[in-house]
Amino acid sequence: MRSAWKRHSVLPGFGITMGFTLTYLSLIVLIPLSTLVFKSATLGPAAFWAAVTSSRVVASYKLTFGAALAAAAVNAVFGLVVAWVLARYRFPGQRLVDAFVDLPFALPTAVAGIALTALYAENGWLGRPLADLGIRVAYTPLGVTVALTFIGLPFVVRTLQPVIEDLDPEVEEAAASLGASRAQTFARVVLPALLPAWLTGFALAFARAVGEYGSVVFIAGNMPMKTEIAPLLIITKLEQYDYAGATAIALVLLVASFLLLLSINLLQHWSSRRTA
Amino acid sequence: MSRPLAEPVGVRVLLIVVALAYLGLFLVMPLLAVFTQALEKGLAAYAAAVTEPLALSALKLTLLTAAIAVPLNLIFGLGAAWAIAKFDFPGKNALITLIDLPFAVSPVIAGMIFILLFGRQGYLGPWLGEHDIKVVFAFPGLALATTFVTFPFVARELIPVMQAMGKEEEEAARVLGAGGWQTFFRITLPNVKWGLLYGVILCNARAMGEFGAVSVVSGHVRGKTNTLPLHVEILYNEYNFQAAFAVASLLAFLALVTLVAKSFVEWRS
């Protein structure tokens, strides 16, 4: 079969690059990941169910998914504003601001974690005034949300920005000439066109936040049942040599990530069909 | 160009202020916090924290880990992009999805799978023990986990660039008698060099900064299996905040260099 594909091309190297790609993919990604499925299969359905529904695990899932959802929602709202401002307006220092949006991709998560903790701790720059208002951020679920907002920040901006830049101005002009106010044009014409990319950015930020560890552990305080995220609980179980329990929690997280990945792919399919 | 249709000036100013306030709160403030806390006790304390032997050995280990993960994923990225962009075969989209897979996996899970495979109670643990080979809680584990989390970076940047380039130029070179490697080095590589560099920059930043995955496989042996981010964690958990932030400032500086390099590449390409 391989030679049948190759005959169409005068370019060399299909066999070797494809062989190398598949081998390397299997060794680094597929075989190691498959151990997760094998290990949790040794548990049996009843023990698996017990492992993922114990109250401490359920509490960690609630915190992880709840905080990730809240953080993605915050980023969806403000990410739209940032993307709009960067794509449509001109102001001094814009290039710098644009480059800076990617900071959460470049800054190691542990550094982000300790920096946010220092800021929001009760003696921190932001923590002190907030504490005066009676709001505690560090070592509460709110702190977890703040950390997840930080690491998810670029996703919505970076998925929306090119789509806003590519919007056809004629459509907005048509809406305006037919008598729509600017707000009406935005709500009825612009926003629907941005919707697939907006949802994609939201899902990407959510997916990233669900698995996040480094930026959260410092600010969370890690109290079981209260501020313990699921990835941390996995590490705790591993340190107690409860490998099967750890894999069961991990498998649920992984399945959630895959479902998100799948919906992101469907969203992109939807958006490419709309723009085509 | 002035847009015939734009928001009123007041709304525009308000939106810019909101956007800048949001970025200032979530991006600028944490970065400022790192550098102020690092210099809190003066330059001498800063210099001491970043030049003590444990910090230097962590720095060495971080560089070494990146020196393994980045070239491996670079070669993989080139090979995968060549096969995917220049040839047609069934299952191409599935292959691209599989290459992106590590992005969907929590860093903690990325570390855990190597414990399940190579740990003392892992699938290959007994065999490794008999032959006295240490993978987990040693350097090979760090390198493997880092390679896993940085796996897609180069490939996912290169694949679209190579696809956009098409294959006519290479085919012409081949028909005119150029060898395979000659075609690759004279035609393909110059065309994709900015995309390649972009992928390498991102891959390197993640490799040097990775925390979750290496935290699981490292075992935190000081001076042996501690990378810079793990060193930051240990110092912080010992309440040695100034030293933790001093070491963290090195990583923050690396992040800023990454952003500058990234912008430069975007501007060139």
CATH topology (fold) of A44-275: MetI-like fold (1.10.3720)
Express each pLDDT in A67-76 by its tens digit. Answer: 999 999 999 9
**Angle of the B107-118 helix axis to the A191-211 helix axis, nearest 10:** 40
Which positions 9-38 of B are in contact with A (Cβ < 8 Å)?
12, 15-16, 18-20, 22-23, 26-31, 33-34, 37
Gyration radius of chain A over CA positions? 23
Query: Residue A148, SS3?
Result: helix
- C-alpha to C-alpha distances, B165 to A18, A50, B162, B193, B255, nearest whole angstrom: 19, 53, 5, 12, 30
Q: Is the dihedral of CA B213, B218, B220, B226 positive or negative?
A: negative
Residues A91, A96: Cα–Cα separation, whole Å? 11
Note whether B19 contacts A185, CB cutoff 8 Å. Answer: no
Domain range summary for chain A, segments of one domain joined by +: 9-41, 44-275
Which of B245, B75, B50, B59 minimizes the C-alpha distance to B150? Answer: B75
Express each pLDDT in B196-205 by its tens digit. Answer: 999 999 999 9
Average pLDDT, chain A: 91
Tell me if chain B has a CB within 8 Å of the CB of A270: no
Express each pLDDT in A135-185 by its tens digit. Answer: 999 999 999 999 999 999 999 999 999 999 999 888 898 998 898 888 899
Residues A26, B108: Cα–Cα separation, whole Å? 20
Which tokens belong to B11?
Answer: 């709304």
> To which residue do tokens 């897979």 refer?
B101
Which tokens belong to A238?
Answer: 């591993």
Which of A214, A253, A208, A207 minimizes the C-alpha distance to A230? Answer: A253
Q: Residue type at B123?
A: Y
Q: Residue type at A222?
A: N
Residues B238, B40: Cα–Cα separation, whole Å? 17
CB B244 within 8 A of CB B236: yes
Note whether B5 contacts A112, CB cutoff 8 Å. Answer: no
Which positions 44-103 of A are in contact with B (Cβ < 8 Å)?
78, 81-82, 84-86, 88-89, 91, 95, 97, 99-103
CB A213 within 8 A of CB A109: yes
Residue A271 has pLDDT above 80, yes or no: no
Whole-number pLDDT of residue B116 = 93
Residues B200, B153: Cα–Cα separation, whole Å? 7
Whole-number pLDDT of residue A8 = 62
Whole-number pLDDT of residue A262 = 86
CB A84 within 8 A of CB B12: no
Which tokens belong to B176?
Answer: 């005119």
Chain A residues close to B184, C-beta within 8 Å: 13
Note whether B87 contacts A18, CB cutoff 8 Å. Answer: yes
Cβ of B8: how many Cβ atoms within 10 Å? Answer: 9
Domain range summary for chain B, segments of one domain joined by +: 1-38, 41-268
Residue to test with chain A: of B3, B5, B20, B109, most A Cβ within 10 A: B109
Which of A10, A21, A105 lies at the smallest CB-CB distance from B80?
A: A21
Which of B225, B209, B195, B84 minimizes the C-alpha distance to B149? Answer: B209
Chain A residues close to B80, C-beta within 8 Å: 17, 21, 25
- Banded model confidence at residue A14, pLDDT cuts 50, 70, 90: very high
Quick one: what percent of chain A has pLDDT higher than 90?
75
Whole-complex ipTM:
0.92
User: pTM of the predicted model, to two decimals?
Assistant: 0.93
Residue A1 has pLDDT above 60, yes or no: no
Segment A214-242 mean pLDDT: 93
What is the least distance, in Å, from the CA of A96 to any CA of chain B? 9
Residue to test with chain B: of A14, A21, A234, most B Cβ within 10 A: A21
Q: Residue type at A97?
A: V
Stretch among A3-7, A155-159, A250-254, B63-67 having the lowest mean pLDDT:
A3-7
Residues A78, B195: Cα–Cα separation, whole Å? 29
Dihedral, CA atoms, A5, B152, B192, A155, nearest 10 degrees?
130
CB B4 within 8 A of CB A177: no
- C-alpha to C-alpha distances, A123 to A132, A138, B247, nearest whole angstrom: 11, 10, 22
CATH topology (fold) of B41-268: MetI-like fold (1.10.3720)
What does each of the 269 residues of chain B score in pLDDT, given as a tens digit? 334 567 889 999 999 999 999 999 999 999 999 999 999 999 999 999 999 999 999 999 999 999 999 999 999 999 999 999 999 999 998 999 899 999 989 999 999 999 999 988 889 999 999 999 999 999 999 999 999 999 999 999 999 999 999 899 999 999 999 998 999 999 999 999 999 999 999 999 999 999 999 999 998 777 788 999 999 999 999 999 999 999 999 999 999 999 999 999 999 87
For Cα atoms B151, A26, B144, give the angle at the middle one, nearest 5 degrees: 50
